[in-house]
Amino acid sequence: MTRGNDEPIAVVGAGCRFPRVRGPLALWRALCDGVDVVGPIGADRYGLRALAGTDEGSRHRPAPRMASIEDVSSFDADFFGIGRRQAAHMDPQQRLVLETTWEAFEDAGVVTGGTATRRTGVFMAKAASHYWHLLARDGLLDMFSVIGAAGSAGLSGQVSFQFDLRGPSMTVDTNCSGGLAAVHLACRSLRDGECRLAVAGAVHLVLSPEETIAYGRAGVLSAKGRSAFADAGADGFVRGEGCAVVVLKPLSAARRDGDRVYAVVLGSAVTNDGRASPTMLAPAAATQEEVLRLAYRDAGVEPARVSFVETHGVGTPAGDPVEIAALASVLGPGRPPGRPVLLSSVRGNFGHQEPVAGLTGLLKAALALHHRLLPATLHHTTPTPALRWDGSRCSVVTRSTPLPDRDGLVAGVNSFSVTGTNVHAVLGSADHPVPGGAPDVGPFALVLSARHPDSLDAAAAAHAEFLETSPEVPLADVCHTAAVRRAHHPYRRAFRAHDRAGMVEALRREPRPLRATPVGSPPGVVLVLRDEPTDHAVVEELSRRSNAFRDAVRECAASPRRAAGPLHPTAPDLASRPLPAGLIALWRDWGVRLTTPPGSVAARRPGDGVDADRAAEPRLPPVTRVDAPGAAASDDLVLHLTPAGVFLGDPPAAGCAGSVWESLVAAAADLYEAGHALRWERILPAGRQVSLPPYPWRRRRYWAPTTGAPAERAHPLLPDHATEERGVRWRTTATPRGGAGDRGTSGAPTAGGLVELAAAVAHRLCGSAPATVEDLSVVLDPAFRHGSALEAAGVAGPPGRWRFHITEAPGADRPAARARLAEGTARVSRRREAGDLPALLRHRVQRTGGGAARPRGPAADPRSPGVRVAERHGNSVLLRLTGPAPGEVDFGFPPDLLDGVLGAATGRHAADAVLTVERTTVVGRWTSSMWGLVTGTPQGGPADVLVCDDDGAVLVELGGVRWAPSPLRACTP
């Protein structure tokens, strides 16, 4: 096998999410500490409850244990600009990959979204999509579920879309070897020139029990609940969940960009067993040996040079001996005595993560090469007797083992699959970086940002803890990475200090109030100069620190007339003197765009106030007075930030050591917080890229199947998620009554409140799609206890249909029988178009022209003053509805307005009557002024109701509304 470009591929960044582990820093600590995250399946994993019991169809008894990721139902949808409904219909594996890919880019110091990252390839691996089957089972099917959960291609496509990556994009499914196969394809694409940068990743979540039951019946799961690689007591593997993403680029590009390199991929190979083994399920030693030889030939490395191999090593009695025998056959010959191939497996830490397994092994191998330390393999106590270890020149690492501190170390990574696809990657160590030349001497500025104030507070706390627990990482490197190698978001803070302890104190200080900065259009910058003699010590200090300042001063010195200046300088004259000219050049070099040309810089003499009349020269914005501590007595210039803009005023006295430069760094920090994009590499001490705490996500629960999907706008009574059984059950926090301004406190529910709540329940049951309630019955039961909470429960029927009821919630004094208040069937429906309005309503909407009309006529119901009769035409009544604007958390439609509309449609009713509605659709998003049309005979047959806004958009549709007497009913839970 030959190739035209054999340049090594650098692993420049990594992101990972494993149980109790997030990011490469946490992963390395867990590996070194020998952490085993396998445990009982959590109670929050509702879909896996079947695994807690005994499978009567199995002769085996695997332990109900797994390496489970915490809170897989949550996601920071706001960060990615994804709506609530789309997020709920996305496979949690997609959501996990998006967050982990962002973290990998952060770790690599790559800021996406510009032309520099457009030619980035995406190579992802996954296996099953359990979430799609859950959505399909409950009829929650739309285009969001198609692109978010139906197939594998959506995974890579979603990453490419969210990060605007326009290189090759594909999802690989070879089952257990998928992650390492994705790395193989990414390296090939980089070497062939298809892309300049690549991300390779894999994800695996277990959301349904069927596969685990099948594995248990096959006898491949461990009864002890642990994976023990090559151990005499190994009895199978434990399933594990995870997500891992690496960022790759050619080594030459990584060196050019100053990247931190964990390791390099020297070569790789992929084969398949074909019919080399008697069955598809049995491993084949011959093809495993073949993939090893092909990989080392591709890497141009002699197999005997390998220091260690991160094995597939899942802990099965059949698979481990075949893998070790193949490694011994290829890597053993030619090795010097006393230097066996060290074998390692990460399965004891995190279980068998299936498509993620090979990528997790690659991460462990890369970190081991980077730190020159190979962590121990867990649960290996007695070598398996299925192998002849003597003479194999292989040894399992049972304690952390230092690796030679030299360049040119080589490691291998194995990954196999039940599909027969075998992958091996050859890794090499990167050159150890030269320690940073800049000592930890301030001033330092640590700039942090986020897309929400809560995330920014969390970022500050995380970085304070990092500085305290990682003293080996220089503060200069931390500040450099945060400022130069991270994306900058609207909510910003800049923390300043002279040393590490001061920075920790600044980070832990009570946070200041925040507002989003206008990134892209920050306040303008105006230089306010002062007619004072030049302090040559200041000029010398700034010339030493800034090349741009030095060059500008030299240019002034070359012109004696410009350097001396006139006796009574104007603003242009002052701006051409050495110190002002140098500062103008310095700020421009730092990336600050001045709002006025240097010739229009405002000038002031000692003692002058800067008033609006004097400062408002041609092309100069109005300038407010600048009052800063020490400004009146200072000799030089300092930048100040005011509500009207950014100004350059006077720095502290030059006699203070470093005070001039500190004032400039402080001013740069103020500009950053105001939204300016600065060239921090020109401002801060030199530093190297290091791993920092990842972005603090602000996650919320998004889960549609069998728990009810969240609506686009939160509801004041229904929580975003329900208690999952085979059906869905909510317990409301209050009783629905009153209007939009009344969030439902106490008292008995009204008919309008129950109709609205039934429509909201249907909306959730149907995955937040447009929903219709069929055959709704509402009972105003006088036995209802005022102030009681309500309980809503739904049971899945045919796809897309749910049967539900609303009852009085049980209490300690009434645990069994309780009032049943409403019941019906929910189904997905289509939205009614604005052009479908009846003629009378359409005519009135057209006359209104989208503007509010003052309601006239009597109230349709004295209890609902917001509903008034506008016109009557035979059996039709035209209503004018007014109400408050909807809030962030609000009803689908104001219950008091629904009461008024129902009163107009049906008249008065008995206390024990039953309201029946053949079809109920509440779209929501009401406005402060609306129209309603009631057709039918209030004292006769059923009536129909239609409510629309002033633009003709239908908001409520009720068909076949009538009251009928009925005996009281009670239900038992």
Residue among 459, 545, 463, 455 at smallest CA distance from 500: 463
Q: Is the dihedral of CA 859, 862, 866, 867 positive or negative?
A: negative
- CA-to-CA dists, residue 114 to 97, 109, 164, 406, 471, angstroms: 21, 14, 8, 37, 34
Q: In the 8-state DSSP scheme, what is residue 579?
A: H
pLDDT at 861 over 80: no
* Selected residue with higher pLDDT from 46 and 967: 46
* Over residues 674-687, mean pLDDT: 90
* Over residues 210-223, mean pLDDT: 90
The interaxial angle of helices 578-589 and 547-557, nearest 10 deg, is 150
Residue among 671, 667, 651 at smallest CA distance from 659: 651
pLDDT at 755 over 90: yes
Q: Where residue 481 falls among pLDDT bands split at 50, 70, 90?
A: very high
* Over residues 32-55, mean pLDDT: 83
Q: HSE (CB half, 13 Å, CA atoms) of 680?
A: 27
- Of the chain, the percentage scoring pLDDT greater than 90 comes to 49
Highest mean pLDDT among 108-122, 576-590, 646-660: 108-122
Cα(first)–Cα(last) distance of the chain, in Å?
Answer: 69
* Over residues 638-642, mean pLDDT: 42
Q: State how far the Cα of 165 lies from the Cα of 410, in Å rounded to an integer.
A: 32
Beta bridge partners of 811: 814
pLDDT at 923: 82
Q: State how far the Cα of 520 lies from the Cα of 675, in Å rounded to an integer.
A: 7
* Over residues 691-699, mean pLDDT: 96
Q: Where residue 519 falls among pLDDT bands split at 50, 70, 90?
A: low
pLDDT at 742 over 50: no
Any idea which of 264-278, 336-350, 829-843 has the lowest mean pLDDT? 829-843
- The model's pTM is 0.78
- pLDDT tens track for 238-251: 999 999 999 999 99
- pLDDT tens track for 373-415: 999 999 999 999 998 888 789 999 999 999 998 889 999 999 9
- pLDDT tens track for 290-349: 999 999 999 999 999 999 999 999 999 999 999 999 999 999 999 988 899 999 999 999
Q: Where residue 188 falls among pLDDT bands split at 50, 70, 90?
A: very high
For residue 149 the two structure tokens come to 């959960």
pLDDT at 6: 86
- pLDDT tens track for 90-128: 999 999 999 999 999 999 999 998 777 889 999 999 998
pLDDT at 833 over 80: no
* Chain-centre distance for alpha carbon 966: 52
Q: What is the DSSP string of 294-363?
A: HHHHHHT--GGGEEEEE------TTHHHHHHHHHHHHHSTTPPTT-PEEEE-SHHHH-B-GGGHHHHHHH
Q: Where residue 728 falls among pLDDT bands split at 50, 70, 90?
A: confident
pLDDT at 666: 85
pLDDT at 561 over 70: no
* Selected residue with higher pLDDT from 522 and 86: 86
pLDDT at 971: 42
pLDDT at 593: 72
* Selected residue with higher pLDDT from 498 and 786: 498
Q: State how far the Cα of 439 lies from the Cα of 349, in Å rounded to an integer.
A: 38
pLDDT at 118: 87
Any idea which of 39-43, 247-251, 465-469, 858-862 has the lowest mean pLDDT? 858-862
Q: Where residue 647 falls among pLDDT bands split at 50, 70, 90?
A: very low
pLDDT at 955 over 60: yes
pLDDT at 721 over 80: no
pLDDT at 521 over 80: no
Show the domains of the chain with their CATH numbers. Answer: 9-429 (3.40.47.10), 445-508 (3.30.70.3290), 525-559+574-597+621-676 (no CATH), 723-734+746-810+817-972 (3.10.129.110)
* Over residues 541-567, mean pLDDT: 76
Any idea which of 247-261, 475-489, 511-525 has the lowest mean pLDDT? 511-525
Q: Where residue 927 falls among pLDDT bands split at 50, 70, 90?
A: confident
Please provide the average confidence, as pLDDT, over all residues in the chain: 82
For residue 123 the two structure tokens come to 């190579």
Give the number of other CB atoms < 10 A from CB of residue 963: 21
- pLDDT tens track for 782-811: 777 777 788 899 887 765 678 999 998 877
